[in-house]
Amino acid sequence: MSDFPYLDRIHSPAEVRALDRGELPKLADELRRFLIESVSKTGGHLSSNLGTVELTVALHHVFSIPEDRVVWDVGHQTYSHKILTGRREAMANLRHYGGISGFPRRSESEYDAFGTAHSSTSISAALAMAVAARDRGEPHAAIAVIGDGAMSAGMAFEALNNAGNMKDINLLVILNDNEMSISPPVGALSGILARLLTPYDAARRLGKKVLDGAPPPVLGLARKMEEVAKGMVAPNSPGTLFEEFGFHYFGPVDGHDLDVLVPTLQGMRGFKGPRFLHVITRKGQGYKLAEADPVRYHGVSKFNHRTGLQEESTGTKPTYTQVFGDWLCDAAARDPRVIAITPAMGEGSGLTRFAREFPERYYDVGIAEQHALTFAAGLACEGYRPVVAIYSTFLQRAYDQLIHDIALQNLPVLLAIDRAGLAGADGATHHGAFDLSFLACIPNMLVMAPSDENECHQMLTTALAHNGPSAVRYPRGKGPGVTPETGLNALPIGKGEIRRRGREIALLAFGSLLAPALEAAETLDATVANMRFVKPLDETLVTALAREHSLIVTLEENAAIGGAGSEIARVLDALPERPRLLRLGLPDRFIDHGEQRQLLAETGLDAEGIISAIRQTEKNSTPHT
List Cβ neighbours of 9 (8 Å cut-off, separation of 6 or more).
15
Q: Which numeric CATH code is attached to 320-473?
A: 3.40.50.970
Alpha carbons 529 and 533: distance in angstroms, whole number: 11
List Cβ neighbours of 83 (8 Å cut-off, separation of 6 or more).
7, 10, 31, 34, 35, 91
Query: For residues 230 and 464, which has the higher predicted lDDT (pLDDT)?
Result: 464
Query: For residues 625 and 594, which has the higher predicted lDDT (pLDDT)?
Result: 594
Predicted local distance difference test score (pLDDT) of residue 287: 87
Is the pTM higher than 0.85? The answer reads yes
Alpha carbons 593 and 425: distance in angstroms, whole number: 5
83-87, 160-164, 282-286, 425-429: range with lowest mean pLDDT: 282-286
pLDDT band (50, 70, 90) for residue 625: very low
Q: Where are the beta strands (DSSP E) in 184-326?
A: 248-254, 273-280, 299-300
Predicted local distance difference test score (pLDDT) of residue 84: 97
Q: Is the pLDDT of residue 196 over 70?
A: no
Q: Is the pLDDT of residue 370 over 80?
A: yes
Predicted local distance difference test score (pLDDT) of residue 212: 54
What is the pLDDT averaged over residues 142-158? 92
pLDDT band (50, 70, 90) for residue 377: very high
Element (H, E) at 518: helix 514-524
Coil/strand/helix, residue 470: strand
CA distances from 422 to 121, 164, 474, 592 (A): 23, 40, 11, 10
What is the pLDDT averaged over residues 597-609? 97
What is the pLDDT averaged over residues 135-149? 95
- Cβ atoms of residues 294 and 182 within 8 Å: no
What CATH architecture is 497-621? Answer: 3-Layer(aba) Sandwich (3.40)
Query: For residues 189 and 210, which has the higher predicted lDDT (pLDDT)?
Result: 189
CA distances from 535 to 233, 402, 412, 568 (A): 57, 16, 16, 11
pLDDT band (50, 70, 90) for residue 498: very high
288-297 long-range contacts (CB < 8 A, ≥24 apart) are: 290/46, 290/47, 290/50, 294/47, 294/178, 294/180, 295/47, 295/180, 295/182, 295/183, 295/184, 295/347, 297/46, 297/47
Strands 273-280 and 414-418: unpaired
Share of the chain above pLDDT 70, in %: 88
Alpha carbons 146 and 215: distance in angstroms, whole number: 38
Share of the chain above pLDDT 90, in %: 79
pLDDT band (50, 70, 90) for residue 186: low
Query: For residues 468 and 310, which has the higher predicted lDDT (pLDDT)?
Result: 468
pLDDT band (50, 70, 90) for residue 339: very high
Peptide bond into 184 cis (omega under 30): no
Q: Is the pLDDT of residue 238 over 50?
A: no
CA distances from 455 to 321, 391, 451, 532 (A): 13, 19, 6, 9
Predicted local distance difference test score (pLDDT) of residue 190: 56
- Cβ atoms of residues 549 and 505 within 8 Å: yes
Predicted local distance difference test score (pLDDT) of residue 232: 40
Predicted local distance difference test score (pLDDT) of residue 183: 55
Residues of the chain with CATH 3.40.50.970: 7-300, 320-473
What is the pLDDT averaged over residues 441-463? 98
Alpha carbons 615 and 606: distance in angstroms, whole number: 14
pLDDT band (50, 70, 90) for residue 237: very low
Q: Is the pLDDT of residue 104 over 60?
A: yes
Phi/psi for 353 (5° steps) reads -65, -40
Q: Which CATH class is domain 7-300?
A: alpha beta
What is the pLDDT averaged over residues 420-426? 95
Give the HSE-up count for residue 515: Cα atoms under 13 Å, Cβ half-sphere. Answer: 14
- Cβ atoms of residues 304 and 39 within 8 Å: no
Coil/strand/helix, residue 299: strand
Instruction: Give the residue numbers marked as catalytic.
Output: 283, 369, 397
pLDDT band (50, 70, 90) for residue 486: confident
Other residues' Cβ atoms within 10 Å of the Cβ of residue 601: 16
Predicted local distance difference test score (pLDDT) of residue 70: 97
Nearest to 46 by CA among 72, 13, 80: 80
Nearest to 508 by CA among 471, 442, 443, 556: 556
Burial class (CB in 10 A: 0-12, 13-18, 19+), 22: exposed
- Cβ atoms of residues 11 and 39 within 8 Å: no
| 517 CA to centre of own chain | 29
Q: Is the pLDDT of residue 606 over 60?
A: yes
List Cβ neighbours of 84 (8 Å cut-off, separation of 6 or more).
10, 12, 13, 16, 31, 56, 57, 60
- Cβ atoms of residues 430 and 418 within 8 Å: no
423-461 burial, b at 16+ Cβ within 10 Å, e below that, comes to bbbbbbbbbbbbbbbbbbebeebbbbbbbbbbbbbbbbb
Strands 362-364 and 338-342: parallel
Helix, strand, coil distribution of the chain in percent, nearest 5? 45, 15, 40
What is the pLDDT averaged over residues 347-355? 96
Peptide bond into 469 cis (omega under 30): no
- Cβ atoms of residues 332 and 325 within 8 Å: no
Q: Is the pLDDT of residue 137 over 70?
A: yes
Q: Is the pLDDT of residue 231 over 90?
A: no
C-alpha distance across the termini of the chain, in Å: 73
Predicted local distance difference test score (pLDDT) of residue 203: 45
pLDDT tens digits, 33-76: 999 999 999 999 999 999 999 999 999 999 999 999 999 999 99
Q: DSSP letter string over 11-38? A: SSHHHHHHS-GGGHHHHHHHHHHHHHHH
pLDDT band (50, 70, 90) for residue 317: confident
pLDDT averaged over the chain?
A: 90
- Cβ atoms of residues 482 and 452 within 8 Å: yes
Sequence-ordered alpha helix ranges (H) in 270-391: 288-292, 320-334, 352-357, 369-381
616: left (phi over 0), alpha (psi -120 to 50) or beta: alpha
Q: Is the pLDDT of residue 106 over 80?
A: yes
What is the pLDDT averaged over residues 69-96? 96
Alpha carbons 122 and 113: distance in angstroms, whole number: 10
pLDDT tens digits, 241-260: 888 899 999 989 999 999 99
- Cβ atoms of residues 408 and 465 within 8 Å: no
Alpha carbons 438 and 35: distance in angstroms, whole number: 39
pLDDT tens digits, 562-601: 999 999 999 999 999 999 999 999 999 999 999 999 999 9
Predicted local distance difference test score (pLDDT) of residue 87: 96
Nearest to 446 by CA among 433, 460, 434: 460
